[in-house]
Amino acid sequence: MKDKYIKIKCGKLYDGISPCFQRDMEILVEGKNISAVGHNLECPKETEIIDLSDKTVTPGMIDAHMHTQYFHWKDVYRDTLYNSDGYRTLAVATCAKRCLQSGFTTVRSLGWWSEAYELDVKRAIEEGYVEGARLVVSSHFLCTPGSHGDMTQVVRTNPYLSDYLIGKYPTCGNGADFFVGAVRRERKMGADFLKIMATGGFATPNDDPDDIQLNDDEFKAIFDTAKEVKISVTAHAYGPRLMKKLINYGITGIEHGSLMDKETAAMFENSGTYLVPTFMPYEDAIHPDEESLAQKSEEYRRKLRFYQKQLQIGREIIINSKIKLGYGTDMVAVHNNYESGWEYYAWHTNGMDPFRILQAATKTNAEICEIADKVGTLEPGKLADIAGWGRDLIKDPHALRDCSFVMKEGVVYPAISRMNEE
């Protein structure tokens, strides 16, 4: 069967390579791939024409920090006790479909505490049984008891139940030998990368964002074993003490980094370590919004207020740095996981250059996801992951909440605006 040809006429084109819009460009798609990008492209007679001359066309967007395992953010706080793996599997599939409809054709899922159902959804999408964004998966957190990755904190007042549940979690434990085994297990099960819950967090009740929750022997076991089995590592980390330690271990990247200081930012720049800063979850503390804060748990609000000044300073340092930045959302409160366009709003309203945001969400994220040979830019040979936007990407901070067109691997899917999501 011959590949189908589609020509897309673009009003403005951002190709993921150059920090500019090119006008009146065309993209020729052959089957799953882009075959040409340019002006007045020649094409076979049977070519389908898609006219996006009133839109801005970009590579399909990539969200590099998402938790896909719930239907609604309010369900996160009930998940440990009330949701089965079957329910979570359906939630992952639903989230992947909604992300695709929103113009985000790839999602990097940062794991959860229960079994590796995300890998099943990833496989079903790749095999064509389920429609959804491409999944890049770290299936479990590597974490210690009582850490931000230990979801049994919610039942810590019932020690028997808490101990029973933690026994069901294959990558939460203590000691170097445990983590050697955990890394090997995740690699065997098909994880694309590893995530360490290396510090405390804001949303969990019994830890602190500046904690360091693994010791040096445990860190060394993880990094040495990951190098041996050839898998990359990222870490949930906020404070400079831990980020410096992780960079010295040669970590590939870090998530959040919200309490950044200038010395640590320089280490990122000099090492080439990437950062996915996830601005939106802390936006209501940095620019106080009591209505938004009220939707978060008491512990979340208390910590955000305690660290407010450091969060504000850290964000300014990140924005003014030359750190390699990825675009990721980490929505577990206020907004749902698939509402990835909100992160554009946070970066944009904090003064980030729009082209730096777009590069983070396309080319840089493809590199972070280790799939830059396939997606992230609009150029011949890449998969035809393409999105169209009706709003002004330079001036409108809501532009990525309002997708007008989406194609993944040469197939057009319904595009859905998220402007009216509750």
More reliable by pLDDT, 69 or 127: 127
DSSP 204-248: SSS--TT---S-HHHHHHHHHHHHHHT--EEEEE-SHHHHHHHHH
61-340 topology per CATH = TIM Barrel (3.20.20)
Cα distance between residue 100 and residue 349, in whole Å? 25
pLDDT in tens, 358-397: 999 999 999 999 999 999 999 999 999 999 999 999 999 9
Q: Answer yes or no: is pLDDT of 338 > 70.
A: yes
Average pLDDT, the chain: 93
- Per-residue model confidence (pLDDT) at position 151: 81
Does the pTM surpass 0.85? The reply is yes
Domain assignments of the chain as residue spans, ordered by start? 5-59+376-413, 61-340
- Among 169-183, 201-215, 301-315, 319-333, the range scoring the smallest mean pLDDT is 201-215
CA atoms within 13 A on the CB side of 106: 30
Cα distance between residue 419 and residue 401, in whole Å? 6
- State both tokens at 19: 């920090």
Q: Where on the phi/psi map is residue 24: left (φ > 0), alpha (ψ -120 to 50), or beta?
A: left
Instruction: Report, as an integer, the average pLDDT of 277-292.
Output: 92
Element (DSSP H or E) covering residue 163:
helix 159-166
What is 5-59+376-413's CATH number? 2.30.40.10
- Per-residue model confidence (pLDDT) at position 355: 98
Q: How confident is the model at residue 1 (pLDDT cuts 50, 70, 90)?
A: low
What percent of the chain shows pLDDT beyond 90? 77
Radius of gyration, alpha carbons of the chain? 21
Q: Answer yes or no: is pLDDT of 155 > 90.
A: no
